[in-house]
Structure 1
Amino acid sequence: MGWLCVLTAAFCEVAGVVGLNRFTERKTLRNALWFIGGFAASFGLLYASFQYLQLSVAYTVWIGLGTSLAVIVNMLLFGESRSPLRLFSLALIIVGVTGLKAVS
């Protein structure tokens, strides 16, 4: 149950990031709801995951997964840079989170 909360929290964080990006471009109620709702749900689900997982593990996976997904979504939807150095840095985040989980 804890991992499901963390995974869902990461996807909600991505919804919040997309909402933030859209809200920055166009201030509508819909974009504000995506922005605020996505981050609120993300924090709520992360908090719920602490019932089942160690805080350090849940938080690390949430940050790494959320950041990685947000970067990928922004590359695909908003045309952000796909430079080799950026992709390498993204891979380092994924390797780092996986390593921390493996030794926890």
Structure 2
Amino acid sequence: MAWVMLIAAGLCEMFGVAMIGKLHKNRNWQSAGLLVLGFGASFLLLSLAMESLPMGIAYAIWTGIGASGAAIMGMVFYGEARDPRRIFCIVLILGAVAGLKLIG
């Protein structure tokens, strides 16, 4: 169950990052509220996952999901460059996350 919470925490972090972009384009209370909700849920789920998982592994996986997810969202939804080197680096991040899961 801790792994499910950790993955959900990473997805909530991605949602929070998306809301930063939305708030930047359209400053309103809804965007700000969703931003706070996304990051708040992310931190709550991360803390719950860390009750069972080692802090170093949980944090590394959480940030890996958030960083790679934000980069992918930027390419898909915001027209950021889809350079093969960027995609390779995202694959490296995801591979490291998978490696931590396999080792831990």
Query: TM > 0.5 between the two?
Result: yes
Superposition TM-score, scaled by structure 2 size: 0.91
The count of residues paired between Structure 1 and Structure 2 equals 104
Instruction: Tell me how far apart the structure 1 counterparts of residues 16 and 66 of structure 2 sit (CA, whole Å).
Output: 10
Is the contact between residue 12 and residue 41 of structure 1 (CA under 8 Å) also seen in structure 2? Answer: yes
Partner amino acid, structure 2, of 1:50: M
How far is 1:99 from its partner? 2.2
SS at match of 2:34: helix
Matched with 1:25 is 25
Q: Give 4+ residue runs of structure 1 displaced > 6 Å after superposition.
A: none
- Structure 1 unaligned spans of 5+: none
Partner amino acid, structure 2, of 1:94: L
Identity across aligned pairs (percent)? 36
Matched with 1:48 is 48
SS at match of 1:79: coil
Superposition TM-score, scaled by structure 1 size: 0.91
Instruction: Tell me how far apart the structure 2 counterparts of residues 9 and 90 of structure 1 sit (CA, whole Å).
Output: 19
Matched with 2:96 is 96
Is the contact between residue 9 and residue 42 of structure 1 (CA under 8 Å) also seen in structure 2? Answer: yes
| Equivalent runs, 1:6-21 vs 2, <5 Å | 6-21=6-21
Matched with 1:67 is 67
CA RMSD of aligned residues (A): 1.2
Partner amino acid, structure 2, of 1:59: Y
Instruction: Tell me how far apart the structure 2 counterparts of residues 80 and 28 of structure 1 sit (CA, whole Å).
Output: 24
